[in-house]
Amino acid sequence: MPGRILPTFTLAEVQSHNSKKSCFVTLGENVYDVTDFVDSHPGGGDLVLEYAGKDIKDILEDEASHTHSEAAYDVLEDSHVGFLASADGKAKPAAAANGNGVANGANGTYVHPRTGMSCEEDLSKDTDISSDYKTHKFLDLSRPLFPQVWKGGFSKDFYLDQVHRPRHFKGGESAPLFGNFLEPLTKTAWWVIPVVWLPPVSYGLYLASEGFSNPLGEVACFVGGLFLWTLIEYIMHRFLFHLD
């Protein structure tokens, strides 16, 4: 059911996609990305662009202007990228939300409206890379991620919506970040950390011991410093790196 995983767009966001490079249309509450269809539209691309960022219900049903076959609706179904948000900014898909902020799925299961997850097992399901990219138009997990984020030009709302949708890379491996000589630096075996850091830490403790008459004082300072830095690092990560 698309409502479980597709993002929501405000009317202003849809209206901003009004060019040949990015063409969105709506049909009721559904949002469609018909950019790839502009050049192949039987009636000409100009007609599609005339309704870019707008609702196409009237033109689809206007037999005097152009009768649309079932194929036209099939194209729309393949181009479905999300739902139109209501005036208060909330999603308007068919799944209804209960008091706990989760949506009731098609099979009676509860589905979180933001993440599309219904249970803990959903977090470990392998993500279909091709289907995920086609559905969300966010990141292609088969290609390096950093360049895609850097050049993506995603809106803030769309980006936040997507990063809150868990994606589990097949086989439990890491998705490629750089795809070049920097890639080996993005992951390491556990034993590399103590091998690299124990020598300089040990040497630092040796130098510091000359300033302590009591070894317990050095141990207390080391433990206190480790605790203080861990706390500072956590605070920075929690409140600075995740700053909205």
pLDDT tens for 172-231 read: 677 889 988 888 888 888 899 999 999 999 999 999 999 998 999 999 999 999 999 999
* Domains of the chain, first to last: 2-84 (3.10.120.10), 125-186 (no CATH), 192-240 (no CATH)
DSSP 20: S
Could you tell me if 53 and 11 are in contact, meaning their C-beta atoms sit under 8 angstroms apart?
no
What CA dihedral angle connects 75, 77, 82 and 87, to 10 degrees? 90
Q: What is the mean pLDDT of the chain?
A: 79
β-bridge pairing 8-9 and 80-84: parallel
Residues 6 or more apart whose Cβ sits within 8 Å of residue 209: 215, 218
Between the alpha carbon of residue 19 and those of residues 56, 92, 153, 201, the distances in Å are: 16, 25, 15, 58
User: Average pLDDT of 150-171?
Assistant: 80
Cα distance between residue 16 and residue 31, in whole Å: 13
Q: Which of 51-65, 68-82, 86-100 has the highest mean pLDDT?
A: 51-65
pLDDT tens per residue, range 81-138: 888 886 555 555 444 333 343 444 444 556 665 666 677 777 777 888 888 888 788 8
